[in-house]
Structure 1
Amino acid sequence: MKLVRPKKNLGQHFLTDLTIAKRIADTVDACPDIPVLEVGPGMGVMTQYLVEKPRPFKVVEIDRESVAYLNEHFPKLRENILGDDFLRMDLQQVFDGQQFVLTGNYPYDISSQIFFKMLDNRDLIPCCTGMIQHEVALRMASKPGNKAYGILSVLIQAWYDVEYLFTVEPSVFNPPPKVQSAVIRMTRNKVSQLNCDEQLFKKVVKTVFNQRRKMLRVSLRQLLPTDSPLFTSDSSFLTRRPEQLSIEEFVDLTNQVEKALCASTK
């Protein structure tokens, strides 16, 4: 069978360097003894190393041409090649409710959506590794006080420890992307609950970072009435900008916003 043609509409950039492919595949070893799900295997450059690991392994691929290629070149994997859209899958069904490691060379244009789905299934995915756009990886791993620190940083680091492992140059892909790539690993932390309303937490984080150059006192006016008691307090907390807040401080801010919302409805 001929090689799969990279499709621009699917954001396909096939990795061609086998040494790097093996390095990425080996990142799953940090979470041993549980199954692995690879997203978007393409022609299986990482798959060839993952399939040899002594643990249950499946791949999910939306591209029919790639699925046909994988079926032909990885016959022992045939029953475990899922021709599906990862973003629409019920992840509880993949390994019958068992926890698994998520990995892959993720399409740049949907990597954030993949990680938001991971967050929604965080009790099912104790470890996630793989390759993404360099700038996205920096945002995910960034700490407070940095320009890269933002929505992804806070929402992911609330539940996962993020490691930036190494950078990958465009020249090892077909076709070469216009940006650098990076390999990351996320490992579930010990947080079982945030001690705040989690939906409001996400809303607060997204609201203030959408106006990241403004003080919290200004950006929070999108969530609270102008006469909210929160704005009349003399707290210096509200003169800060979102990139200056830690996860714990965002939890505290969420609780303050919830209290202020309750007061405004009385």
Structure 2
Amino acid sequence: MSVKAKKHLGQHFLKDELIAQQIADSLTGKGYEKVLEIGPGMGVLTKYLLQKKFTTHVIEIDTESVEYLKAHYLNLTNRIILNNFLKINLFEYFGNNQVAIIGNFPYNISTQIVFKTLENKHQIPEFSGMFQKEVAKRIAEKEGSKVYGILSVLTQAFYNVEYLFTVPPTVFNPPPKVDSGVIRLTRKENYILPVNEKLFYRVVKTAFQQRRKTLRNSLKIMNLSNNLREDSIFAKRPEQLSVQEFINLTSKIEKDAV
């Protein structure tokens, strides 16, 4: 019995045991005892996670995959969640426990998985997963690059990001049309921002929505004082600002509004 990959779920099953083991090994196990794997499919990654010292849970939306896992991983049965990760409340399943996230993520929802992780950062100390290479690079990219953007800044504000390795299409069934990339996010010790988080998100998103313009023009919509807009930072374009500079900018805007 095997599970057929479903296009509407963005499934590409990993078939390379060595890569599955490398992804499982990318979790450090520091600061948590529970791990949640998103989209385990037929369990090629799950198998290696179950050999670790932490307790592995899986969440899967595909009922056929769930039946397969129940039949082949008997010791996992009580820890299989049939649900959509994007819609669950982590507290309902894990209480106040810290839980790491891992997976070979469906490309069509991978950025949403990152945003959901950021929403639950207080509970997710580590995150390791496989994305379309282009998305993985974007999350890990530093300022000064054309692909540095909203996803890069918001993720790096709360997590240290490492691009670990690239994976070719040939190790999947069916093979995707592009390379994949595996990254690891490790939550920063000081992940609580010294500024209003909602305002920080708004500043970053507004700035990058017109990324070719200087901040003086792209942030016009925020009704900043003329005095503040004379600050030299407003002559820059958003991709020139580091994460820390975006935090400093938010702080200036916060004070300007008082």
SS in 2 for 1:149: coil
Please give the alpha-carbon distance, in whole angstroms, between the structure 1 residues aligned to 2:257 and 2:101: 38
Please give the alpha-carbon distance, in whole angstroms, between the structure 1 residues aligned to 2:211 and 2:81: 40
Residue in 2 aligned with 1:80?
A: 79
Residue in 2 aligned with 1:259?
A: 255
Please give the alpha-carbon distance, in whole angstroms, between the structure 1 residues aligned to 2:94 and 2:32: 13
How do residues 119-130 of structure 1 correspond to structure 2 at under 5 angstroms? 119-130=118-129
C-alpha deviation, 1:30, in angstroms: 5.1
Please give the alpha-carbon distance, in whole angstroms, between the structure 1 residues aligned to 2:100 and 2:194: 27
Please give the alpha-carbon distance, in whole angstroms, between the structure 2 residues aligned to 1:31 and 1:12: 30
Instruction: State whether residues 224 and 260 of structure 1, in contact with CA within 8 Å, keep that contact through their aligned partners in structure 2.
Output: no
1:240 correspondence with 2:236: yes
Please give the alpha-carbon distance, in whole angstroms, between the structure 2 residues aligned to 1:53 and 1:33: 12
Q: Which amino acid aligns with 1:230?
A: L
Instruction: State whether residues 133 and 181 of structure 1, in contact with CA within 8 Å, keep that contact through their aligned partners in structure 2.
Output: yes
Please give the alpha-carbon distance, in whole angstroms, between the structure 1 residues aligned to 2:80 and 2:160: 30
C-alpha deviation, 1:207, in angstroms: 0.7
Instruction: State whether residues 224 and 261 of structure 1, in contact with CA within 8 Å, keep that contact through their aligned partners in structure 2.
Output: no
C-alpha deviation, 1:14, in angstroms: 0.5
Please give the alpha-carbon distance, in whole angstroms, between the structure 2 residues aligned to 1:64 and 1:194: 40
Aligned length: 258
Query: Percent of counterpart pairs with the same letter?
Result: 52
Residue in 2 aligned with 1:54?
A: 53
Residue in 2 aligned with 1:37?
A: 36
SS in 1 for 2:27: helix
How do residues 1-266 of structure 1 correspond to structure 2 at under 5 angstroms? 2-29=1-28, 31=30, 34-224=33-223, 228-231=226-229, 233=230, 235-262=231-258
Please give the alpha-carbon distance, in whole angstroms, between the structure 2 residues aligned to 1:124 and 1:239: 38
C-alpha deviation, 1:248, in angstroms: 1.6
Instruction: State whether residues 119 and 156 of structure 1, in contact with CA within 8 Å, keep that contact through their aligned partners in structure 2.
Output: yes
Please give the alpha-carbon distance, in whole angstroms, between the structure 2 residues aligned to 1:27 and 1:203: 32
CA displacement, residues 45-103 of structure 1 (integer Å, 9 cap, x when unaligned) = 10111112222111000111111111111111101111011111111132332101110
Please give the alpha-carbon distance, in whole angstroms, between the structure 1 residues aligned to 2:191 and 2:50: 32
Instruction: State whether residues 15 and 173 of structure 2, in contact with CA within 8 Å, keep that contact through their aligned partners in structure 1.
Output: yes
C-alpha deviation, 1:33, in angstroms: 5.5
TM-score (norm 1): 0.93
Which stretch of structure 1 is more off in the superposition, 161-170 or 193-202?
A: 193-202
Q: Which amino acid aligns with 2:246?
A: F
Stretches of 4+ moved more than 4 A in 1?
none
CA displacement, residues 83-134 of structure 1 (integer Å, 9 cap, x when unaligned) = 0111111111323321011100011111111111111111111000011110
Counterparts in 2 of 1:251 and 1:33: CA distance versus 1, 3 Å? closer
Q: Which amino acid aligns with 2:234?
A: L
Q: Which amino acid aligns with 2:42?
A: M
Which stretch of structure 1 is more off in the superposition, 14-23 or 29-38?
A: 29-38
SS in 1 for 2:183: strand
Please give the alpha-carbon distance, in whole angstroms, between the structure 2 residues aligned to 1:126 and 1:189: 8
Please give the alpha-carbon distance, in whole angstroms, between the structure 2 residues aligned to 1:31 and 1:183: 19
Please give the alpha-carbon distance, in whole angstroms, between the structure 1 residues aligned to 2:148 and 2:191: 23
TM-score (norm 2): 0.95
Task: Flag structure 2 segments of 5+ consecutive residues without an equivalent.
Answer: none
Please give the alpha-carbon distance, in whole angstroms, between the structure 2 residues aligned to 1:200 and 1:77: 42
CA displacement, residues 174-231 of structure 1 (integer Å, 9 cap, x when unaligned) = 1111111011100011224211111010011011111111100110012226x74433
Please give the alpha-carbon distance, in whole angstroms, between the structure 2 residues aligned to 1:92 and 1:30: 20
SS in 1 for 2:28: helix
Q: Which amino acid aligns with 2:208?
A: F
